[in-house]
């Protein structure tokens, strides 16, 4: 199997893997999937990931959703996104990106390209495909907005409920986050939908040997561009974050108060973490909620 054959017959890839007709080297997957580097007969490498058998059945549409998001981001023609070669119910294969080292120049280029991606826009908040964030479902039904009401209803409330039901957050924690939900219209910064990655924590940046930053593992949808930037700053941030943000702002300036709104946007991904991984992220959620309220000028007494 070479690249030309794979493009013509993507459905044959699982058979070749089952019969060990392709050299396969396990690599880090970056999410809940098993990942490997496949070397084709013509020497071309591809990245493939599959749903682990131990995790039960593949959620319906899981890989199709990721493929749709990658193609949509790539179609903007700005930031680097790997080409989707195979998208099957149980397998996703992408063109291989050779890893490199982070450089200030790559960071600045990425900041400009990310601004270009966001500027590509979206027809509505949400998307035309089912949503996932990690292994959890995400409400993607297209919505005209405004952004703040959509974000509270579709990106905060569902994961708050899951986190409380799973025991990761207490009733006082939930009351604090609910205060953010109730006051979300006071934070400002509403904008038309941008074309966003949607899960842009630093682990979903791939610094390539070509001195570009590539986007991987998206939860792509029409959303607020500040969400991508706020998620990028989580968990210590990527190398050269200040250069990324400066280049972004130079290309497409952000609305006043965007830094104060970062905890609000980060609250989405942090609630996803309490829903998935439990109470280890409880303090991060409550800290972000308090910071969001302070940023809105509506600080409350510490609970």
CATH number for the domain that contains residue 60:
3.30.200.20
DSSP-assigned letters across all residues of 219-243: --EEE-HHHHHHHHTGGG--TTHHH
pLDDT tens, N- to C-terminus, the chain (303 residues):
899 999 999 999 988 888 778 888 888 765 678 899 999 999 999 999 998 877 788 899 999 999 999 999 999 999 999 999 999 999 999 999 999 999 999 999 999 999 999 999 999 999 999 999 988 999 999 999 999 999 999 999 999 999 999 999 999 999 999 999 999 999 999 999 999 999 999 999 999 999 999 999 999 999 999 999 999 999 999 999 999 999 999 999 999 999 999 999 999 999 999 999 999 999 999 999 999 999 876 433 333
- Other C-beta atoms closer than 10 Å to the C-beta of 32 total 13
Q: Give the end of a domain, one of 69, 95, 121.
A: 95
187 lies in a domain?
yes
225 lies in a domain?
yes
Distance CA 10, CA 12 (A): 5
Residue written as tokens 């149980």?
90
- Residues 159 and 14 reside in one and the same domain: no
- Residues 67 and 183 reside in one and the same domain: no
- Residues 81 and 168 reside in one and the same domain: no
State residue 30's pLDDT score. Answer: 54
- Other C-beta atoms closer than 10 Å to the C-beta of 79 total 24
> Whole-model pTM?
0.94
- Residues 117 and 175 reside in one and the same domain: yes
- The domain of 266 spans 104-295
- Residues 44 and 154 reside in one and the same domain: no
State residue 302's pLDDT score. Answer: 39
- CA 280: distance to chain centroid? 21
- Residues 264 and 148 reside in one and the same domain: yes
- Give the number of domains in the chain: 2
- Note the pLDDT tens digit of each residue in 284-298: 999 999 999 998 764
116 lies in a domain?
yes
- Residues 188 and 217 reside in one and the same domain: yes
- Residues 207 and 87 reside in one and the same domain: no
- Note the pLDDT tens digit of each residue in 54-97: 778 889 999 999 999 999 999 999 999 999 999 999 999 999 99
Q: Which of 224, 221, 220 is nearest to 191 (CA)?
A: 224
CATH number at residue 148: 3.90.1200.10
Q: Give the end of a domain, one of 36, 63, 95.
A: 95
State residue 167's pLDDT score. Answer: 97
- Note the pLDDT tens digit of each residue in 208-219: 999 999 999 999
Are the C-beta atoms of 281 and 275 separated by less than 8 Å? Answer: no
- Residues 279 and 142 reside in one and the same domain: yes
229 lies in a domain?
yes
Angle at 115 between CA 113 and CA 119, to 5 degrees: 115
Q: Give the end of a domain, one of 42, 74, 95.
A: 95
- Residues 77 and 222 reside in one and the same domain: no
Distance CA 91, CA 279 (A): 31
- Residues 176 and 214 reside in one and the same domain: yes
203 lies in a domain?
yes
């Amino acid at each position: 199997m070479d690249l030309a054959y794979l493009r013509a017959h993507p459905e044959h890839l699982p058979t070749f893997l089952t019969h060990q007709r392709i050299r396969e080297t396990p690599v880090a997957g970056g999410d809940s999937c098993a990942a490997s580097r496949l070397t084709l007969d013509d020497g071309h490498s591809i990245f493939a990931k599959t749903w682990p058998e131990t995790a039960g059945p593949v959620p319906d549409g899981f890989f199709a959703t990721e493929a749709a998001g990658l193609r949509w981001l790539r179609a903007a023609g700005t930031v680097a996104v790997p080409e989707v070669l195979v998208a099957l119910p149980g397998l996703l294969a992408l063109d291989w990106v050779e890893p490199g080292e982070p450089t200030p120049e790559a960071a600045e280029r990425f900041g400009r390209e990310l601004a270009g991606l966001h500027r590509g826009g979206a027809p509505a908040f949400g998307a035309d495909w089912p949503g996932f964030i990690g292994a959890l479902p995400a409400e993607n039904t297209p919505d005209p907005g405004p952004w703040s009401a959509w974000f509270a209803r579709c990106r905060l409330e569902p994961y708050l409920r899951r986190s409380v039901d799973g025991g990761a957050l207490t009733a006082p924690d939930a009351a604090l986050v609910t205060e953010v939900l109730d006051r979300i219209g006071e934070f400002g910064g509403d904008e038309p939908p941008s074309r966003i990655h949607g899960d842009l924590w630093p682990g979903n940046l791939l610094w390539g040997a070509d001195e570009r930053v590539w986007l991987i593992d998206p939860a792509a949808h029409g959303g607020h561009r500040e969400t991508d930037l706020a998620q990028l700053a989580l968990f210590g941030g990527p190398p050269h974050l200040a250069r990324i943000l400066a280049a972004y702002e130079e290309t497409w300036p952000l609305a006043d108060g965007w830094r104060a709104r970062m905890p609000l946007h980060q609250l989405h991904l942090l609630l996803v973490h309490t829903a998935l991984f439990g109470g280890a992220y409880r303090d991060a959620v409550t800290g972000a909620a308090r910071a969001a309220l302070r940023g809105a000028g509506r600080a409350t007494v510490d609970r």
